[in-house]
Amino acid sequence: MKTKKLTAIVLAMLMLIALIPVSALAEGVGHAMMNVKMWRDTDKIWASIDETVAELDAAGASKSDIIKAIYEIASEGEGIVSCEIEGEDVVHFVHESGMENAYDWKVNHSATAIKGEKTGSVETTLRSLETATDLDVLLLGPYYGQDSSFTNQYRNEAQSIANYTQGNYTVYQGTGVDANACRAAEDYGIIIFDSHGSCVGGRSYLCLTTANGFTNEDYTEHRALRSGSEAWVTGAFWEYYCPDMKASCVWMAICEGMMTNTLGQPLLNAGCAVVYGYSQSVTFSGDYLYEATFWNHMKQGETFADSYDAMIAAHGIYDPYGDAYPVVMSEDDAYPANPDSHQTVYCQWHLPTPSDLVVTDVTSVSFPQSNYGIAPTFSEQIVPNINPEGANNYTATWTSSNTNVATVNKKGVVTGVNPGTATITLNIASKPTSNSTYNYTATTTVTVSNSYLPAEVMYVPVSEVVPGETYLIGYTHGTKTMVMGNEYQNAANSRNLLSVDVTLGEVGGKTCVVSEVTAGEEWVWNADGSIRNVENGRYLNLSGNYLSTGSSPIEWTFTPNEEGGTGTVTNDVSSYFRYLGVSNNDTYFGVFMGAYEIRLYRKLVRAGSGTMGDANGDGSVNSIDALQVLRFSLGDTAAIPSDRLSLCDVNGDGVVNSLDALDILRSAMNLS
């Protein structure tokens, strides 16, 4: 009987597998195998690092000797595609799977660290099991019980803040600060991170003492970084797992938390109101002075800006025992151009009290428009009418009927994907803990079409290049698109990138994409897959985390079509490293990025402020416009005035032809 049951189960599994497309099955198997390899390779590296560091510590080796030894182990590890010493304290290495790893000497060699077993516990003074609210305070202290430098000051402060707000107070400490404890931040109005911090590979991290609860994808998608048996968390973790954070105040009592904006900005994206941190390594004494003065003023009902000013007036514009500057990010406070300087803060956030949290039920929901138009790859925030104004006792769920046409996130931001129509639905329901029960639904239609391209200059991604046309190098990451336009990126670490125009041409008899970088500097994508400087013949090559100049080429991919004179441009240096731009001193070509796709973009300038598809300029788009475009495509160049040609390229392919006429006609007839 057992044999028959087992056979039936096996047959059922085989039938299910048979239904899975071979390509999908192979992809899944390949992904699983890479995950297995990732852990096998990195486990061996970290075991060797732990053993070597223990021996060197016992022998009294210097910091530089320890860092060099770790670098040698990591750089020779199986599957490692990049390894670099950053500054004096950090060894940063990346596995071919995309997993980032780092060892920070400062974090692992705290002078006051308590040796022995790491402890983990949860301390809480929750007065009930009710869901956390804006009034509640969360304190994350992963090094509590392990490093005596972390005193009771923030425990006492968090309790005092909770007394003021009349909220609850929760502390996760030791190894209890895992992935699940980090996710709990979504439920609290005041969040304090009391930990070590580090900046690696252009990202700021909060250091945890455990890797419990993190997934393979957290590492390969750069939401977390591995440090032996521990994990460090970047802001992408909260943006991904906690997209509905309260209008919280986040205080980061950590080193280098604001050296970049990779912790602060994602927290704001997730819904936080204000984020505070430090540009460099902060001392305990300096931070304790700052926080005591700041929170004392906040507990007197003052705004964040006023409390910040009082703190600076009392203790100075940077850590009086170090060189760390306080940095604030909020809706009113952008990440400063130079985080190591005094910042004027404007944030008006204040500590909430029960009087600020009057529960107001929703009575109705609707959209102000029955139809929204958006161009492919563009995004627009749809703001619903939720009545009455100030209603707060609800949960919102957004959905799209066709994600191949348009997607919508949890905040109502709609992104066009492909031409067509999709129904966007918003469901408003009472909270599970509410005494009221209600459910409202509103719908609106989103039409995705190139006819909704914005009136200003925009850029269309292309996969083929045509001789004589000019392009810009850009990149996409998720729903965001960036085209280089004389903008400086990563100014904090001096990797300043300039815009790059590219065209298709010939150099030395070879078809290539030519880019004008700076005066007298001409770089080419050669058809043989290399990038070369025309003046000195040197190549742009992978060196550590960046592309630098070298005498021999690295392989890139540019496939020219010799017959048609066009070519497909791709560059995939590895599964993780992708680069963009040339620095102003020609030292680096690129920006350290993961999960970014580099593309070429064609500049499309719409003439005036006319409507896309309005060929005759009468203010409407109809069949007459379609007829004029068709006549133009058949050779009647007088059918469209020259100043309206750009408005007639509704599909953005660079030419005005019958395809545009068809799109205009379909738009006029309200067809998808």
Position 568 scores a pLDDT of: 43
Residue 509 pLDDT exceeds 70: no
Q: How far is the C-alpha of 485 from the C-alpha of 458, rounded, in Å?
A: 12
Q: How many whole angstroms separate alpha carbon 107 and alpha carbon 240?
A: 26
Quote the CA–CA distance of 516 and 480 in Å, as a whole number: 25
CA 129 to each of CA 125, 168, 190, 408: distance values in angstroms, whole numbers, following the listed order: 11, 10, 18, 33
How large a percentage of the chain has pLDDT more than 70? 67
Stretch 190-197: mean pLDDT:
96
Q: Please give the structure tokens belonging to residue 497.
A: 């990138």
Write down all domains in the chain, each with its CATH number in brackets: 29-108 (no CATH), 120-354 (3.40.50), 358-448 (2.60.40.1080), 458-604 (no CATH), 605-672 (1.10.1330.10)
**CA-to-CA distance for 338 and 291, rounded, in angstroms?**
22
Spatial strand order in the sheet of 326-330? 120-124, 169-174, 137-141, 190-194, 249-253, 274-278, 326-330
Please report how many Cα atoms fall inside a 13 Å half-sphere around the Cα of residue 359, on the Cβ side.
9
User: What average pLDDT score do residues 82-98 get?
Assistant: 90
pLDDT one-digit tens code per residue, 272-320: 999 999 999 999 999 999 999 999 999 999 999 999 999 999 999 999 9
pLDDT number for residue 473 = 56
Of 308, 305, 235, the residue nearest 265 (C-alpha): 235
DSSP 410-447: TT-EEEE-SSEEEEEEEEEE--TT-S---EEEEEEEEE
In the predicted model, is pLDDT for residue 384 greater than 70? yes
Contact 659, 626 (CB under 8 A): no
Nearest CA to 125 among 170, 165, 183, 73? Answer: 170
Element (H, E) at 530: none
Question: What CA–CA distance (Å, rounded) separates 181 from 583?
Answer: 40
Round to whole Å and give the CA distance between 327 and 432. 37
Q: Write the DSSP assignment of 171-236 as a string of letters.
A: EEEETT-SHHHHHGGGG-SEEEEES-EEEETTEEEEE-S--TT--HHHHHTTSEEEETTEEEE-HH
Residue that is written with structure tokens 């104004």 in the block: 389
Residue 87: the pLDDT is 83
Read off the pLDDT band of 496 (50, 70, 90): very low
Assess whether pLDDT exceeds 60 at residue 586. no
Angle CA 458–460–464, to nearest 5: 150
CA-CA-CA-CA torsion for 638, 644, 647, 649, nearest 10 degrees?
Answer: 30
Q: Is the pLDDT of residue 362 over 70?
A: yes
Number of Cβ within a 10 Å radius of residue 635: 7
Residue 492's pLDDT band (cuts 50, 70, 90): very low
118-122, 174-178, 583-587, 638-642: segment of lowest average pLDDT: 583-587
* pLDDT (0 to 100) of residue 430: 87
Q: What is the DSSP string of 605-618?
A: ---TT--TT-SS-S
DSSP assignment letter at 622: S
DSSP 109-128: T-TTBPPS---EEEEE--SS
Residue 416 has a pLDDT of 86
| Structural element, H or E, at residue 527 | none
- Look at residue 108 and tell me whether its pLDDT is greater than 50: yes
Mean pLDDT, to the nearest integer, of 231-244?
A: 92
Query: SS3 for 105?
Result: helix
Distance CA 140, CA 188 (A): 12
- Average of per-residue pLDDT across 205-222: 94
For residue 81, the tally of other CB atoms under 10 A from its CB is 16
* DSSP letter, residue 497: B
DSSP states of 41-52: HHHHHHHHHHHH
Residue 90 pLDDT greater than 90, yes or no: yes
Where does the pLDDT of residue 62 fall: very low under 50, low under 70, confident under 90, or very high at 90 and above?
very high
Q: What long-range pairs does 83-86 form, CB within 8 A, spacing at least 24?
A: 83/544, 84/544, 84/545, 86/200, 86/201
What tens digit of pLDDT does each residue of 447-469 get?
A: 987 667 665 555 566 655 565 56
Mean pLDDT, the chain, as a whole number? 76
Proportion of the chain in helix, strand, coil states, percent, rounded to 5? 25, 30, 45
pLDDT above 90 coverage of the chain, percent: 43
What region does 613 belong to: left with phi over 0, alpha with psi -120 to 50, or beta? left
Residue 596 predicted with pLDDT over 60: no
231 φ/ψ sector (left φ>0, alpha ψ -120 to 50, else beta): beta
Nearest to 526 by CA among 508, 512, 516, 536: 512
454: cis peptide before it, omega within 30°? no
Averaged pLDDT, 53-81: 93
Residue 226 CA to residue 214 CA, distance in Å, equals 10
**If you search the block for the tokens 């058809």, which residue do you land on?**
527
Compute the C-alpha angle 5/8/11, nearest 5°: 155
Determine the residue type at 584. N
Beta bridge partners of 400: 424
**122-160: pLDDT as tens digits:** 554 433 334 557 899 999 999 998 888 899 999 999 999
* Mean pLDDT score, 524-531: 52
Rank 467-476, 483-492, 661-670 by mean pLDDT and report only the highest: 661-670
Q: What is the pLDDT at residue 204?
A: 94
Task: Assess whether pLDDT exceeds 50 at residue 64.
Answer: yes
Distance, CA of 57 to chain centre: 37
pLDDT exceeds cutoff 80 at 189: yes
667 contacts: CB under 8 Å, gap ≥ 6: 449, 451, 613, 621, 650
Nearest-angstrom CA–CA distance, 402 and 410: 16
Q: Residues in the chain, how many?
A: 672
Rounded CA-CA distance 186/306 in Å is 26
Element spanning 129, H or E: none
Q: Tell if the pTM clears 0.95, that is, is over it.
A: no
Give the integer Cα–Cα distance in Å for 273 and 244. Answer: 12
Angle between helices 623-633 and 658-668 (to 10 degrees): 180
Residue 326, pLDDT above cutoff 80:
yes
- Reply yes or no: is the peptide bond before residue 388 cis, omega within 30 of 0: yes
At residue 417, does pLDDT exceed 80?
yes
SS3 89: coil
pLDDT score of 6:
44
Determine the pLDDT at residue 250: 98
Cα separation, 281 vs 258, whole angstroms: 10
**Please, are residues 247 and 277 in contact by the beta-carbon 8 Å criterion?**
no
Separation CA 327–CA 298 (nearest Å): 17
Say what angle helices 304-315 and 284-298 make with each other, to 10 degrees.
Answer: 140
> What local confidence, expressed as pLDDT, does residue 390 receive?
78
